[in-house]
Structure 1
Amino acid sequence: MVLSQAPVPAISHHQMLVFLLQIGLLLGVAVLLGRLAVRLRLPPVVGELSAGVLLGPSVFGNALPDVRDWLLPHDAAQMHLLSAVAQLGVLLLVGITGAHIDLRLIRSKGKVIGYVSTASVLLPLALGFGLGYVMPDSMMAAGADRGTFALFVGVAIAVSALPVIAKTLLDMKLLHRNVGQLIIGAAAISDIVGWMLLSIVSAMVTKGLDTGMVLESVGYLVLVLAFAALVARPVARQVLRLTERSSQPEVSVTAIAAMIVLAGAGTLALDMEPILGTFLCGIVISSLGPASRRSLDSMRSFVMSTLAPLFFATAGLQVDLSALGKPTVLLAAVVTLLVATLAKFAGGYLGARMGRLGHGEGLAIGAGLNARGVVEIVIATVGLNLGVLTTATYTIVVLIAVATSMMAPPFLRHATRQIPKTTAEHERERELAGSPS
């Protein structure tokens, strides 16, 4: 006997109206402020985040509280609609970020990049972990474990942001320089380690902190890496071979988007962060050759111009600058920013010197790796959603992401003035400009 099932109620007229207004307003303000940031020679993410801060409780919420409550209500079902679109944006963004990883570069510069990436991750991670242990209890979400909270702070401080760094180097015409390539390689390793650490810490939140859980998380991580190398790569190659036969190029783009989202679902099913799966999927797809990268570039335009700004604006909605009016929170923000900046800079510099690079190159690498941007914002969002960070701590982490992204260009510009160009760098510069070598 087959029982008929009642149809799912349609979304209400009011919910759809508010949802469309949210999307249009957030996206419009994010794009405008992102363009303004570019004119001011800042990363667009600074303006896009500012859109959310402007429309959130800090400004819009204080100036027009009734309008803000109507447009951005404290209603879980309504906000979940907006959050779902933003999450799709961040998953595709992280997948595209993974496609920036140049595995050949990492292999060719392996020794120096190994020193730099190790020092620039371990030193901030250790200092951030210690800072998380001495922060007041008021900075932790209710019921959060102190060790897990400290690890979250450590991971947030330890990461770099490959997309922001790559864009900064391109804008400053430094990507062809040896030091630029070293920064990109070390940032790639930092991103990979950061996503892996985030997955382990997230598993700790959902399962509790014990030796068995850590071993299980590490085991799942090894399984995911092995699956990506041994199974996902040949499967992705076969899928793209089939789609490339189509007369419609958008078929390949759709297939890539589906694989990225499914990869996120795979790691989520293992109680790991979906962004780890999407990041590894981006690396796998990019490694399949020029055709795959062209399809990724086709998707990149829409993601970077529409979905990514919407995600950053949505992330900015959670920022409450009024929290900085409390002396405890303000002190924590200043100390965390100092520790994050100095630890990352020192780690990058020490790693460069261990790799037998000069003083100027060490300064440039430390300055370049200090930009956190996208990655730290994603980590902060995960920490808030998992109930580890409070709104105040989330605000601090997002402000650090913005501040370090703004610091990187001027410090990098100053440091690279001390480094003379080599013949090989001149040749690469001519190649990028399209001149005969």
Structure 2
Amino acid sequence: MVTAQGPVPPMDGHALPLFLLQIGLLLLVATLLGRLAVRLSLPPIVGELLTGVVLGPSVLAPVLPAVHARLFPAAPEQFHLLDAFGQFGVVLLVGVTGLQIDARMARRRKATVARVSLPGFFVPLLLGVGAGMLVPGSLLVEGVERTVFAVFLGIAMCMTAITVLAKTLMDMGLMHRNVGQLILVSGAVDDVLGWVALSAVATMVTSGLQWAALAGTVVLVLVFVAGAALIGSPLVRKVMTGTVERADPGVTLGTAVVIVLVFSVTAHMLGMEAVFGALIAGILIRTSGKDVLTRLAPLRTFVVAVLAPVFFAAAGLRMDLTALADPEVLLTALVLLLVATVGKFAGAFVGAWTSGLGRWEAVALGAGMNARGVVEVVLALVGLRLGVLSTEMYTVIVLIAVATSLMCPPLLRRAVRRIEVTSEEQLRHAEFEATWNSTNELSPAEKA
């Protein structure tokens, strides 16, 4: 006989208020540092990324250890609450990003996307593998084959963080520019390739290289994209346009969130990153028409102003940059940062240049694709879980993630300032403004 279980007990009286305090503190500091970044002619995301570093083990813990221990206790369940909130935010951020991708432009310039994304992936991958073979043995995990570590490091070098790219392009008002669209789509391609490659490394660590498993992952990606285009697209369009007939715009907003979550869960169940499914969902929702997108403007505002800053800030809480006090770790970090930056920039630049793009467009693509951000932090956490990375190498990869994300905005701004605004971009900007009712004006680079 099966007896009914009692109700799940609620969260204890300490965890909930602490969680709310953490969210409020992260959002407050992220907003303040974001405003400071704007005053320094940088996008807000720069301040948001540094929030976790300031409040985490890199700054607050050494300076005020008692305060840090009280605000962010080393309790897994407390961090899991922050992680869940942050993941919800980043999934919606990428979904909102998909709403602003011009799929027609991406299809029209698919050859350019391929020429930019593929060299931008394989050049830093090969350089990273080579560098991994030369990393001092004292920084490696005992018992892990150097080849496996080197391949993992190569994957870390070639990743592009579409979450960071999306927020940066939004902050800088570049989502309507052709170069902004190319950066985002090319970054998404590299992101997918990176996670597929990571799946192969995870298999190598646990049971050796299995080509059948790798081929199966690639097939699943292709099936997912094809199914989204052939089945998901008309279904999403029908559902979303049907919500416009209702007077309550909240129905449209809630339906869009559900669609993004369903695609995210589906992608995750197929072995892909959830954010890839969210990106596909956003692209499909965009085809539903201007009326749908106008109703979703409040969602974009809330995600960009509240959920995304908390996610970027919370990710930094695991970054402990104090390990860089070791000269060997610091030197290794600087060398690998140089290899990562040169490899990613060179790969994207050469791909753009051979595609017939101008010099400054190629520079913009190289600068944008170089941002690794939280994706590389997540990758580093996976490396720790698999036992491929030591604590020192985890810190090195986190440093590369933060440094490349900070490099991206000023280089991108300088390059875009020298790219003439086309009539197509002006029309797209007018469409964005009318659709989103955004208060963002043209960036200084666009006004110049």
TM over 0.5: yes
Distance 1:196 1:275, change over 3 A: farther
Distance 2:324 2:359 in 1: 37
Could you tell me how far apart the structure 2 residues matched to 1:265 and 1:170 are?
A: 25
Residue 6 of structure 1: CA displacement?
Answer: 1.8
Pair 1:185-2:193 in alignment: no
2:92 & 2:421 partners in 1: Cα distance? 37
Cα 1:181–1:152 change in 2 (3 A) is: farther
The change in CA–CA distance for 1:160 and 1:18 in structure 2 (over 3 A counts) is same
In structure 1, the residue matched to 2:354 is: 354
Shift of 1:320: 0.4
Distance 1:329 1:111, change over 3 A: same
Structure 1 equivalent of residue 155 of structure 2: 155
Deviations 1:275-334 (A, max 9, x none): 222222222222333234334433121111111111111100011011111223212221
* Aligned: 1:123 with 2:123: yes
Q: Contact (CA 8 Å) 2:182, 2:365: kept in 1 or not?
A: no
State the alpha-carbon separation in 2 of the partners of residues 191 and 73 from structure 1: 35
Deviations 1:32-72 (A, max 9, x none): 11111121122222211211111111221112222322221
| Counterpart for residue 13 of structure 1 | 13
Partner of 2:396: 396
Kept in 1: contact 2:162–2:191 (CA 8 A): no
CA apart distance, 1:86: 1.3
Q: Which residue of 2 aligns with 1:231?
A: 231
Distance between the aligned counterparts of 1:236 and 1:342, measured in 2? Answer: 41
RMSD: 3.2
Question: Secondary structure of the residue that 1:317 maps to in structure 2?
Answer: helix
1:235, distance to aligned residue in structure 2 (A): 2.3
Instruction: Report the CA distance shift for 1:290/1:428 in structure 2 as closer, same or farther (over 3 A).
Output: closer
Aligned to 1:61: 61
Mapped partners of 1:267, 1:41: distance in 2:
37
Take 2:19 and 2:422, find their aligned partners in 1: how far apart are those partners? Answer: 55
> In the alignment, does 2:219 pair up with 1:219?
yes
Hey, what does 1:33 align to over in structure 2?
A: 33
2:87 aligned partner: 87
Quick check: 2:99–2:286 contact (8 Å CA) kept in 1? yes
Which residue does the alignment assign to 1:269?
A: 269
Q: Does the 8 Å contact 2:174/2:180 carry over to 1? A: no
Structure 2 Cα separation of the partners of residues 234 and 313 of structure 1: 37
Whether the 8 Å contact between 2:100 and 2:175 is mirrored in structure 1 is no
Look up the match of 1:201: 198
1:195: Cα distance to partner?
Answer: 2.8
Following superposition, the deviation at residue 201 of structure 1 comes to 1.5
Match of 1:105 in 2: 105
- In 1, the alpha carbon distance for the partners of 2:14 and 2:163 equals 37
What amino acid is aligned across from residue 195 of structure 1 in structure 2? V
* Worse overlay, 303-312 or 348-357: 348-357
Task: Give the distance between the partners of 1:175 and 1:276, measured in 2 at CA.
Answer: 18
Equivalent-residue separation in structure 1 for 2:41 and 2:96 (angstroms): 23
Alignment-mate amino acid for residue 232 of structure 2:
A
Q: Report the CA distance shift for 1:235/1:66 in structure 2 as closer, same or farther (over 3 A).
A: same
SS state of the match for residue 134, structure 1?
Answer: coil
* Deviation of the 1:163 alpha carbon: 5.9
Distance 1:237 1:424 in 2: 28
- More off after superposition, 206-215 vs 334-343: 206-215
Equivalent residue for 1:319? 319
State the one-letter code of the partner of 1:74.
A
Q: Does 1:339 align with 2:336?
A: no
Task: In structure 2, give the amino acid aligned to 1:16.
Answer: L
- Please say if residues 121 and 344 of structure 1, whose CA atoms lie closer than 8 Å, have aligned partners that are also in contact: yes
**Do the aligned partners of residues 89 and 168 (structure 1) sit closer, same or farther apart at CA in structure 2, a change above 3 Å counting?**
closer
- Residue identity opposite 2:57 in structure 1: P
Counterpart of 1:185, as a letter, is: L
1: CA distance, partners of 2:418 / 2:23: 46
Identity %: 45
Deviations 1:8-41 (A, max 9, x none): 1221111222222211212211111111112112
Residue 376 of structure 1, CA deviation: 3.9
Q: Distance in 1 between matches of 2:145 and 2:327?
A: 24
Greater shift, 231-240 or 384-393, is seen at 384-393
Over 3 Å counting, the alpha-carbon distance change for 1:2 and 1:87 in structure 2 is same
2:44 counterpart of 1:44? yes
TM-score w.r.t. the length of structure 1 is 0.85
Aligned-partner Cα distance in 2 for 1:320–1:408: 22
CA contact (8 A) 2:124 2:344 kept: yes
- Return the TM-score normalized by structure 2: 0.83
Secondary structure of the corresponding residue to residue 13 of structure 1: coil
Query: Structure 1: which amino acid aligns with 2:132?
Result: G
How far apart are residue 358 of structure 1 and its match? Answer: 4.4
Residue 374 (structure 1) shift: 5.2
- Deviations along 1:164-210, one digit per CA (max 9) or x if unpaired, are 5566567767777xxx5145314312213313431451465266431
In structure 2, runs of 5+ residues without a counterpart are: 435-448
Once residues 330 and 50 of structure 1 are traced to their aligned partners in structure 2, the CA distance between those partners, rounded to angstroms, is 19
Question: Matches of 2:417 and 2:29 in 1, distance apart?
Answer: 36
Q: Point out the more displaced range, 107-116 or 27-36.
A: 107-116
CA distance in 2, matches of 1:139, 1:292: 52
Query: Equivalents in 1 of 2:70, 2:422: separation in Å?
Result: 61
Q: In structure 1, give the amino acid aligned to 2:29.
A: V
Amino acid at match of 1:48: E
1:287 match: 287
Q: 1:18 to 1:137 in 2, by over 3 A?
A: farther
Measure how far apart 1:101 and its partner are.
2.5
